[in-house]
Amino acid sequence: MSPSLTRLDVAHPRAVVLLLHGGKETSRRPVDARSASWARMAALQRDVSPALHAAGASTWLLRYRTRGWDGGADKVADARWALDEVRSGLGELPVVLLGHSMGARTAVHVADDPAVRGVVALAPWWPLGEPVDAALGVPLRAAHGRRDRITSYAASRAFAARVVAAGGDASVRSMGWAGHYLLSRRRAWNAFATQQVLALLP
């Protein structure tokens, strides 16, 4: 199974927002329409696209080949494929990465692509010791709920602190007692995603 893209395009885009969905620590199952992680990001894409379209940005949602991180190589390869698709289809447009959970983990591994202008991360999965090097060249804006039992608010703060210590630009906003799945305080998640992406668009 190959990666694929759900594209919500404007007529003459000046930028692309590439959405990266979550997943599991380990799973070789293909990502299909029954994947809750993909469906959550598809809903977010529909919610944020009107405002982003008004700013001239198309939104593209990547569907990975498989559901699990499994070391990350496949997810990084899929995201780099999507960035190449932007280049081949639209030219050298700026890209903002918008990732949830595992998608935010993928985003910080491909943020060194020359098209990427920034990363917006929702309830990111950044384990202790996750490499920061690829994320140092662009702004990183994250939001995390303190009731999250799947990924860690404290780990997100620690990752951002390591980025800043290495000379990068990163911040984490508390979403209060929201959980992991972007369901509680949905409007607030959507607003954060939209505002931060718009701020990163050139």
Strand partners, 100: 122
Does the pTM surpass 0.95? The reply is yes
Topology of domain 4-200, CATH: Rossmann fold (3.40.50)
Chunked mean pLDDT (size 10), the chain, 202 residues: 96 98 96 93 98 98 98 98 98 98 98 98 97 98 96 98 98 96 94 98 91
Taking CA atoms, 16 is separated from 48, 58, 63, 66, 200, in Å, by: 13, 5, 16, 23, 11
* pLDDT for the residue 184: 87
> What pLDDT, on the 0 to 100 scale, is given for residue 1?
79
How far, rounded to the nearest angstrom, does the alpha carbon of residue 166 sit from its chain's CA centroid? Answer: 21
Contact 120, 193 (CB under 8 A): yes
Question: Each residue of 23-55: pLDDT tens digit?
Answer: 999 999 999 988 999 999 999 999 999 999 999
Taking alpha carbons only, the member of 94, 98, 84, 105 closest to residue 25 is 105
Domain ranges of the chain: 4-200
Query: What pLDDT, on a 0 to 100 scale, did the predictor assign at position 137?
Result: 96
Residue 121, pLDDT score: 98
Question: So what's the pLDDT on residue 34?
Answer: 87
pLDDT digits (tens, 9 = 90+) for 116-139: 999 999 999 999 999 999 999 999
